[in-house]
Amino acid sequence: MGPFAARAPGQTSIGGSTTFALTEVEAEEATRSYVLALMEHGSPGPADLLRVMLARPTWQRRAACRGDGVGAYFPTRGASDLDLARAVCAGCEVRSDCLDYALADPSVLGVWGGTSERERQRLRRDATDPRP
């Protein structure tokens, strides 16, 4: 856990001794600020990865797929793998945010928001199609 990781609802330990009441958003921002301050004095490498991770949209922290690994979200064996990923996406609280993110960037690969790359291409094409 990071130096500002929540220990109990609304409680955060700093330095292992003093406990302050912080909201979840305040705790995340404090951790982010702390990590960024540490990275300013470091060398390239893991710090670069942390910068990328911290730049990700905050909704990704609440995604149902977080921590699952990537295998199921880049199906190679057809519909059965795609169905596994879609099952996770079906109950995800940030599914619409995820889909919007993937639709906004055509270079995004794999399953996002319960859709395949081909389905997102179709959705983009349909959104720009002037036919009624």
pLDDT in tens, the chain (132 residues): 444 444 444 444 444 444 456 666 666 776 676 666 666 665 556 666 677 667 778 898 899 998 887 788 887 766 677 888 899 999 999 999 999 999 998 888 999 999 999 999 999 999 887 766
Q: Where are the beta strands (DSSP E) in the chain?
A: 6-8, 11-14, 18-21
- pLDDT number for residue 48: 67
- pLDDT number for residue 52: 66
Distance between CA atoms of 124 and 96, rounded to whole angstroms? 15
Among 61, 88, 58, 94, which residue's Cα sits nearest to residue 75? Answer: 88
Helix-helix angle 95-104:117-128, to 10 degrees: 70
